[in-house]
Amino acid sequence: MATTQAPPPAPAPLDLKNIQGDILSGLPKKTQLYVFFDITDVARFRKDLNKFIPLVKTVAGVLEDRKAIDDHKKKKLPGLLTLSGVNISFSHQGFVKLGIDDTGLAAGGAQDPFVVGQKKDAITNLGDPANKDGTLPDWDPAFLKDIHGVFLISGDSILTLEKKKLEIALIFGVGTPQTSIKEIITIRGDVRPGDESGHEHFGFLDGISNPTIKGFDTVINPGPKPVDAGVLLTGHTGDPALDIRPDFRPDWATDGSFLSFRYLFQEVPEFNDFLTKNPLAKDGNGKALKPEEGSELLGARMVGRWKSGAPIDVAPFKDDPALAADPKRNNDFEFAGEINSQLRCPFAAHVRKTNPRDDLEVPPPPRAPIDIDSRRIMRRGVQFGPELTAKEKQEGKTLHDRGLLFACYQSSLTNGFQFIQQSWANTKTFPPFETQPEDPGLDPIIGQGVREMSGLDPLNEQKLLTMPAFVVPRGGEYFFSPSIKGLKST
């Protein structure tokens, strides 16, 4: 008699009014401020925080805002819709200052990146260039201080952000002798002019492939399968800490998430100059390319997507804007791990290094499938700095600071951001295939170390390409974004 297997239990519904909005939904944005602060008066801060909590935009709040934005567009309502949202996160140093025991929060104990802090982790594990005496990363001095927390303020205009910042400043008494916080640095990021869809400064469409979440996302397009909510949220099924010890997380930690913030400068004229000077001569079918086509193909192979966002694994040698614009197709691919797949997408390509999809499941060599779900991260972030000037284009040299305020959420930094940067992007032997003629090399976008990559030329005529770093880290920190209940118990 055939046995029928019971279907897996449905995931518990998420408390959308308890989870900070940026984690699962992304605060709607045209412009954003990251306001980094220190706590100067603990007793006063606790009182002020209670007054601040009603301002925090939860996932439920974001969903309402998104509906309002849609209605406004569909009904072509006159005037501007003014929307803003605020989230708050704390570093380990912030919890120490508040006298909160966060030992149950970071699964890795004293070694956990959250407890160690990003300045030390940057030197020890992330590969960031060091300053002169080699003890600290070569960062903006503001990020070398101890940062206790960060407000993320998001909105539709600079005026909206400034008003919100003022509202927060009034709550925390900023500018008065009674203030409970001190601002360390505020950085503004903006969606690039006229670019609602979101291209980063090298010109590639970003924010396409984020994980879909069981029990939350209602639209599931073909592509990587949905992950358990616990990959992003602490205290839920899929949270790696719970696999180690089911009673690990303290109650106040449920529905929170770890935030990795990175202040990444992009050297855009140098990047463009490199592509112009190293055009690929032929496509994978041996067809000779014009120089501009060869440069475009090299850029696409470094990222793993064309500037339009079309994945090169599906459209290997020619951009396909219709594919890029179709959410049902633009993330629907697997690499299938075999050597020939380099013809379509190099092992070193940024999207393959940071999300190898089925590369770790498929032989050769024979190996047990490795589940990469717990390595998925929810990427947020926004661009900062001006568009390229005519002088920069002409000289091929960066004259103004610009880049990405990179932010990502996960329930474990050891599994998520830190692992992706250290063990995948910076590791030349990853992904491991014994049949490969040479190591894949570093991630051409974010890999730190000796920057050599193979497979960028589809015909493998130019075996190994060495290139300077076009992304330079200038700061960052690890934070925890507690739930509303967690904030109330702070």
Closer of 88 and 471 to ligand HEM (Cβ): 471
Query: Using the rule CB under 6 A, which residue among 143, 151, 204, 263 binds ligand HEM?
Result: 204
Between CA 309 and CA 8 the distance in angstroms is 35
Q: How far is the CB of 328 from ligand HEM (least distance, A)?
A: 15
273-286 per-residue burial string, b: 16 or more CB within 10 A, e: under 16: bbbeeebbebbbee
User: Before 468, cis peptide (omega within 30)?
Assistant: no
Point out which span in 14-22, 117-125, 204-212, 382-390 binds ligand HEM (CB under 6 A): 204-212
Between 317 and 333, CB nearer to ligand HEM: 333
Minimum distance between the CB of residue 163 and ligand HEM, rounded to whole angstroms? 30
Cβ 55 to ligand HEM, closest distance in Å? Answer: 29
Which candidate, 188, 186, 115, places its Cα nearest to that of 477?
115
Least distance between ligand HEM and beta carbon 381 (Å):
8
d(CA 331, CA 296): 21
Q: How far is the CB of 158 from ligand HEM (least distance, A)?
A: 23
Nearer to ligand HEM, 266 or 374 (CB): 266
By the rule CB under 6 A, 446 interacts with ligand HEM: yes
| Least distance (Å) between residue 202 CB and ligand HEM | 5
Tokens 């005529």 identify what position?
Answer: 461
- Return the residue of 153, 442, 445, 456 that touches ligand HEM, per CB under 6 A: 445
For residues 205 and 199, the answer to whether their CB atoms sit within 8 Å is yes
| Interface pattern 64-93 for ligand HEM (x via CB under 6 A) | ------------------------------
Pick one of 207, 215, 386, 449: the residue that binds ligand HEM (CB under 6 A).
207
Closest CA to 439 of 468, 418, 471, 465: 465
Question: Which ranges of 326-381 does DSSP label H, i.e. alpha helix?
Answer: 341-344, 350-354
Residue among 139, 85, 100 nearest 486 (CA) = 100
CB of 224 to ligand HEM, least distance (A): 7
Please pick, from the candidates 107, 471, 472, 487, the single residue that binds ligand HEM as defined by CB under 6 A.
471
- Which of 59, 115, 232, 264: binder of ligand HEM (CB under 6 A)? 264
- Out of 49, 56, 181, 208, point to the residue binding ligand HEM (CB under 6 A): 208
Contact mark string toward ligand HEM, 400..429, x via CB under 6 A: ---xx-x----------x--xx---x----
Binding residues with ligand HEM: total (CB under 6 A): 28
For ligand HEM, the closer of residues 254 and 260 by Cβ is: 260
Residue 206 found at the interface with ligand HEM (CB under 6 A)? yes
**375 touches ligand HEM by CB under 6 A:** no
**Given CA atoms 115, 87, 183, 96 in this order, what sign does their dihedral have?**
negative
Cis peptide before 444 (omega within 30 of 0): no
Contact (Cβ atoms closer than 8 angstroms) between residue 126 and residue 418: yes
Rounded CA separation 401/479 (Å): 25
Binding mask 286-325 for ligand HEM (x = CB under 6 A): -----------------x-x--------------------
User: Tokens 């004293």 belong to which residue?
Assistant: 110
Is 206 one of the annotated active-site residues of the chain?
yes
Q: Which of 480, 7, 413, 15 lies closest to 229 in space, CA to CA?
A: 15
Q: Which helix (H) or strand (E) holds 190?
A: strand 181-190
Which entry of 22, 48, 128, 206 is annotated as an active-site residue?
A: 206
Which residues, 6 or more positions from 456, have their beta carbon under 8 angstroms from its beta carbon?
280, 298, 301, 302, 346, 348, 444, 462, 465
Per-residue contact track with ligand HEM, 318 to 357, x per CB under 6 A?
--------------------------------xx--xx--
First-residue to last-residue Cα distance in the chain: 56
Task: Describe the crossing of helices 291-303 and 268-277 by its angle, rounded to 10 degrees.
Answer: 120
Which residue ranges make up the site for ligand HEM (CB under 6 A)?
200, 202, 204, 206-209, 262, 264, 266, 303, 305, 350-351, 354-355, 377, 379, 403-404, 406, 417, 420-421, 425, 445-446, 471
Q: Provide the annotated active-site residues.
A: 206
